[in-house]
Structure 1
Amino acid sequence: MKLPPLLDTRFAQFLQVLPADYHEQAYAFKAFARPRKIKSPLQLLQLVLAYCGLDLSL
């Protein structure tokens, strides 16, 4: 999922605030179980933030 340049830089800044093992925690807490169309916890996080935080449509 490609974000507009401004959103992409803000998302990169947001990732710096997350714990280093957020990817493993997504699997441990079952927030991300099986990759299908969304291939990684990172893509899931981008989708949730874009949909809820920025009020973008799917």
Structure 2
Amino acid sequence: MVSTSKAVLDAMREDFEQLPADARTKLFEMLCQSGVESADWWWDVLVGEGDPLYRELETI
């Protein structure tokens, strides 16, 4: 299940990276305002090193 969830988030990141810069900014702001997860979580998933949970699981 973790690998499937990671694949979905990786696909979201790839799609996000394909957007023009202004569209990425607008989408990121909209996601942060949605109340679904925190701004830090969205940043990690879309721009940073991925969901912090996956980094923790990689060590197991």
- For normalisation by structure 1, the TM-score amounts to 0.33
**Higher RCO (C-alpha under 8 Å, 6+ residues apart):** 2
- For normalisation by structure 2, the TM-score amounts to 0.32
